């Protein structure tokens, strides 16, 4: 059917975020920064105890048990926590709620590509200060008039972590706008900006269950801030869809937060594997910024990244590659189990001489 162009004219057009591939057959999956370990054992227990009769009812719109568990874990009050369907949902709500000045918001040119998609979707003007030649954020680029700031720490896909004082400088130089710190990978890295929450009324920290808590499939994310900003965020959420998080995610997420020991143990294992993997990559001649996340952003001076990507994929080893300026020669490799990484290295060794 020929579409009437006047209809098309009024449709909102967006270049959507392109998620990493999710192959349905068994592969060594090092392409979307998922955790190679299962979630905490309590999650399986919670799942077995789910009362399906309750599926008749709407879930708790405030996800109160989950919010309380998170508040206790981080030593904040429950009115300082907002829960959403993955941090993508939380971040999107934050854009909608906090970035309304009409002035451009700021985020790095190389970063999580969803930021640009939301800015376009919500028609928020934006500017993207360039990372320096070592892929570091230049904090002074954020010391100017703007409509808000979002910085991930560690940044993705570079995996570079900036010390807390660096992030604090950006927050302190932007007292009139909201600064979102996206800490999807903070548990693999260092000190979190959560400890600055009581000192800065413009700070909101966003984290996720998808990486260090092994629950990407359950879609749980959260924000921690002061009660005023959390209230504004909830007002927007309740104007949009009150029942965002399903009962099962709420129950399973709560169990995952409660098991601090398991979380620390698996996170530590990934950090250990990462440090070993850095050594192995170096021996093969790869170059990469020092990673403090659960992935490594690496290039080989003598081998084309697109080619390496295809060669690995043929052997059912999936990593991530973007055919875009400045990062075309890089692969983003998620840290899997030691065994998965050994298979990756043996595939690379067969090719790299």
Shortest distance (Å) from residue 182 CB to ligand PLP: 5
The residue of the chain with the least Cβ separation from ligand PLP equals 86
- Looking at beta carbons only, is 88 or 187 nearer to ligand PLP? 88
Distance, CA of 254 to CA of 273 (rounded, Å): 27
Q: Does 147 bind ligand PLP (CB under 6 A)?
A: no
Q: How many residues bind ligand PLP (CB under 6 A)?
A: 13
Closest by CA to 78, choosing from 227, 237, 253, 221, is: 227
* Residue 161 CA to its chain's centroid (Å): 13
- Looking at beta carbons only, is 86 or 348 nearer to ligand PLP? 86
Q: Return left, alpha or beta for 135; rule: phi > 0 is left, psi -120 to 50 is alpha, else beta.
A: left
Closest by CA to 150, choosing from 68, 80, 92, is: 92
Q: Does 210 bind ligand PLP (CB under 6 A)?
A: yes
- Looking at beta carbons only, is 55 or 122 nearer to ligand PLP? 122
- Looking at beta carbons only, is 327 or 347 nearer to ligand PLP? 327
**x/- binding map, residues 95-134, to ligand PLP, per CB under 6 A?**
-----------------x----------------------
Q: Which residue has the tokens 């594997």?
A: 273
- E-state strands within the chain: 28-29, 81-84, 105-106, 126-127, 149-152, 179-182, 203-208, 221-224, 295-298, 317-318, 331-334
Subset of residues 65 to 94 that bind ligand PLP, contact rule: CB under 6 A: 86-88
Q: Which residue has the tokens 């934006």?
A: 126
Distance, CA of 264 to CA of 181 (rounded, Å): 22
**x/- binding map, residues 15-44, to ligand PLP, per CB under 6 A?**
------------------x-----------
Distance, CA of 318 to CA of 299 (rounded, Å): 16
- Looking at beta carbons only, is 209 or 288 nearer to ligand PLP? 209
Per-residue tokens: 21: 């591939």
- Looking at beta carbons only, is 19 or 227 nearer to ligand PLP? 19
- Looking at beta carbons only, is 32 or 146 nearer to ligand PLP? 32
Subset of residues 282 to 301 that bind ligand PLP, contact rule: CB under 6 A: none
Shortest distance (Å) from residue 266 CB to ligand PLP: 17
- Looking at beta carbons only, is 174 or 210 nearer to ligand PLP? 210
Per-residue tokens: 255: 């169990």
Subset of residues 226 to 285 that bind ligand PLP, contact rule: CB under 6 A: none
Q: Does 152 bind ligand PLP (CB under 6 A)?
A: yes
Subset of residues 302 to 341 that bind ligand PLP, contact rule: CB under 6 A: none
Shortest distance (Å) from residue 52 CB to ligand PLP: 26
Distance, CA of 26 to CA of 18 (rounded, Å): 21
- Looking at beta carbons only, is 221 or 253 nearer to ligand PLP? 221
For 257-283, give one letter per residue: b (16+ CB within 10 A) or e.
bbbeebbeebbebbbebbeebbeebee
Question: Going by C-beta distance under 8 Å and a sequence separation of 6 or more, which residues neighbour residue 350?
Answer: none
Contacting range for ligand PLP; rule: CB under 6 A; set: 5-13, 138-146, 208-216, 250-258: 208-216
Among 34, 162, 182, 187, binds ligand PLP (CB under 6 A): 182
Distance, CA of 335 to CA of 275 (rounded, Å): 10
Chain positions contacting ligand PLP, by CB under 6 A: 33, 86-88, 112, 152, 156, 182, 184, 208, 210, 216, 221
């Amino acid at each position: 059917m020929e579409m009437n162009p006047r209809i098309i004219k009024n449709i909102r057009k967006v270049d959507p975020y392109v998620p990493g591939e999710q192959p349905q057959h068994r592969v060594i999956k090092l392409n979307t920064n998922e955790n190679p370990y299962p979630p905490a054992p309590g999650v399986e227990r919670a799942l077995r105890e789910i009362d399906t009769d309750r599926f008749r009812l709407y879930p708790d719109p405030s996800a109160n048990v989950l919010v309380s568990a998170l508040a206790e874990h981080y030593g904040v009050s429950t009115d300082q926590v907002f829960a959403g369907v993955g941090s993508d949902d939380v971040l999107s709500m934050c854009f909608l709620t906090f970035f309304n000045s009409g002035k451009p918001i700021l985020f790095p040119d190389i970063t999580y590509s969803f930021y640009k998609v939301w800015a376009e979707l919500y028609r928020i003007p934006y500017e993207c200060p360039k990372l320096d030649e070592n892929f570091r954020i230049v904090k002074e680029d954020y010391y100017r008039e703007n409509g808000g700031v979002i910085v991930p720490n560690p940044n993705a896909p570079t995996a570079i972590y900036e010390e807390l004082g660096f992030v604090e400088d950006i927050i302190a130089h932007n007292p009139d706008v909201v600064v979102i710190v996206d800490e999807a990978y903070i548990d693999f890295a260092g000190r979190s900006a959560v400890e600055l929450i009581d000192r800065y009324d413009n700070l909101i920290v966003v984290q996720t269950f998808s990486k260090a808590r092994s629950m990407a499939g359950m879609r749980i994310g959260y924000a921690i801030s002061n009660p005023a900003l959390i209230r504004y965020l909830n007002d927007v959420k309740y104007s949009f869809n009150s029942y965002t998080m399903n009962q099962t995610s709420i129950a399973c997420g709560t169990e995952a937060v409660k098991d601090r020991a398991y979380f620390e143990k698996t996170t530590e294992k990934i950090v250990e594997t990462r440090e070993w993997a850095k050594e192995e990559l170096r021996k093969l001649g790869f170059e990469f910024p020092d990673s403090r996340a659960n992935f490594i952003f690496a290039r080989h001076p003598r081998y084309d990244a697109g080619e390496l990507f295809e060669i690995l994929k043929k052997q059912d080893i999936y990593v991530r590659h973007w055919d875009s300026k400045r990062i075309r020669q890089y692969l983003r490799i998620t840290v899997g189990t030691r065994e998965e990484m050994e298979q990756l290295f043996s595939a690379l060794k067969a090719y790299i001489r």
